[in-house]
Amino acid sequence: MLTDIGDVMRQCYERGWITSRDGNLSLFKEGGKYLYITPSGIKKTMVHPEQLVKLETAMDPETLQRRLWISDHQKPSGEILMHWNIQCNAPATRAVLHVHATHIIAAMYRGFDLQRLCMDFGEIFRHTRVGPSVPVLPALTREFADATADCLGVHPDGSLEYDIVGQTNHGVCAVGTDPWAAYEHIERLNHICEIVLKSGISPEVGVLEAMAR
C-alpha cells in the first residue's frame, strides 16, 4: 500500500491535477502506530516508499488522545495539520489525498455548489459522499485544517460524514480506505465538474432544470 502512494501521486501529475511539487497524501494503517505522509517539497513524480516521512504516533495517557511526534530532521508535507485532523482518530486504515484537481477548482471558481451539483448525477452520489466546500482560507494554517475536518464531518470517534470536499480557490481533499480509493473519489467529482463546465449551464440553474428547458 505504501507503493500505491507514489503511484497515485504520479497519476495525479499525469492528469494535470498537480505540478511536480504540489499535492500530498497520507496513510494510517489500522492497528499501526505510524502515519506515512509525502515529504515537503519533493517532486511527486519521484515518490517511492523510502522517500515517505514515517511519523510515530502514541496515545497520550492524560488526554487519551493519539498524538503525533515529529522530530527536527523530519520534513512532512506542509499540510500535516490537515492530514492529522482527519487521521488522528481513524478507526481503520485510511488514506487522505489533497490535490488541485482542475475541473473541481474551476467549478468552484465559477460559483457551483459541489454538493448540490452532484445530486443530479447518480454515478457519483451512489459511491462518493460530497461534503460542503471549505471557504477561502490560507493554506497550511490551523484554521484551514480545522475547516477541512469540519466540512468532511469528522467525529470524535474518527468516523466521517463525507468522502470528499472542495477547498474553495485552492484544491480538494478526499478520504478513502486506501490511496486509490481516495483518488477515485476525486476522479468521479472532477469528471462531473468537467461535464457541467463544458455544458455551459449557469451555477444558478440545476442540471435537470436546464435539461427540461
What local confidence, expressed as pLDDT, does residue 205 receive?
66
Ordered by where they begin, the domains of the chain are 2-212 (3.40.225.10)
What local confidence, expressed as pLDDT, does residue 125 receive?
81
CA distances from 210 to 88, 194, 200, 203 (A): 43, 16, 10, 11
Provide the residue count of the chain.
213
Whole-prediction pTM value?
A: 0.92
Given the C-alpha cell 469528471, which residue does it identify?
A: 191
The C-alpha atoms of residue 57 and residue 181 are separated, in whole angstroms, by 24
Q: Are 212 and 138 in contact (CB under 8 A)?
A: no
For 77, list phi and psi in degrees, rounded to 5. Answer: -50, 145
Beta strands, E only, 76-204: 94-99, 164-167, 171-176
What local confidence, expressed as pLDDT, does residue 206 receive?
60
What local confidence, expressed as pLDDT, does residue 67 receive?
85
Residues of the chain with pLDDT under 70: 205-213
Q: Are 172 and 189 in contact (CB under 8 A)?
A: yes
